[in-house]
Amino acid sequence: MPPKKKITKEDIIEAALEIVRENGMGALNARALAKKLSCSTQPVFSNYSSMEDLQEDVLQAADRLYQRYLEKGMKDPAYPPYKASGMAYIRFAKEEKELFRLLFMRDRTGEEVREDRESIAGLLELVASNMGISQDAAYMFHLEMWIYVHGIAVMVATSYLDWDWEMISEMMTDAYQGMRERYQKKEKN
């Protein structure tokens, strides 16, 4: 009789991520995982003391996937790097709808939400140097632009709209140029 396959924590996270991709975080439970892994629930509870711990690992795995989308997107020669980051955000929303919802549309009640300029320092430097504005102005510009991009991404993730990439690109250019002009004027005054 062949030995039983050992189910690793990585196997569990991968299977859990697939369940969430297909049906959202609400579908993730020990039974669904056991079925996906073709095993009992024992390996799940051997590796995790609670479903909350597993959900946290799934959240981190989804974020790593999102970060890969950003890295790949910013290397796309079709767009300037700052615009490419927004296009990658929208692409993630379109191609990974449930993971996008998990990362960017979940209820944050009870979570500590903090301003994290450090994680976007490269983008802020890009904006500040390209536009000739201060880091503080670049931060505010980025927040406004991100809100605009997030709105498009949410409409894509919820299938409210299905615009082609050319239209999305044009709209982002229009928003960027309008806000850039306003921010540059503010910095001169």
For residue range 105-118, list pLDDT tens digits in order: 999 898 887 777 88
Share of the chain above pLDDT 90, in %: 84
Rounded to whole angstroms, the Cα distance separating 110 from 34 reads 30
Residue 25 pLDDT class (50, 70, 90 cuts): very high
pLDDT of residue 2: 56
Separation of alpha carbons 99 and 16, rounded Å: 12
Distance CA 77, CA 105 (A): 29
CATH classification code of 1-64: 1.10.357.10
Instruction: Find tokens 């406004």 and name the residue.
Output: 144
Q: Nearest 5°: phi and psi at 158? A: -95, 5
Measured between alpha carbons, how far is 162 from 152 in angstroms, rounded to an integer?
A: 10
Give the DSSP letter of residue 39: S
pLDDT in tens, 124-163: 999 999 999 999 999 999 999 999 999 999 999 999 988 9
Contacts of 93 (CB under 8 A, 6+ apart): 100, 104, 153, 154, 156, 157
CB count within 10 Å of CB 91 equals 21
- Position 145 scores a pLDDT of 96
Residues of the chain by 3-state class (helix, strand, coil), percent to 5: 75, 0, 25
- How much is the pLDDT for 129? 93
Confidence of residue 89 (pLDDT cuts 50, 70, 90): very high
Q: What is the pLDDT of residue 116?
A: 78
Rounded to an integer, what is the distance from CA 124 to the centroid of its chain? 18
Burial class of residue 48, CB neighbours in 10 A (0-12, 13-18, 19+): buried
Domain boundaries, the chain: 1-64, 79-189
Report pLDDT digits (tens) over 166-189. 999 999 999 999 999 999 888 887
pTM of the model: 0.90
| Separation between Cα atoms, residue 72 and residue 75, nearest integer Å | 5
Start-to-end Cα distance in the chain = 80
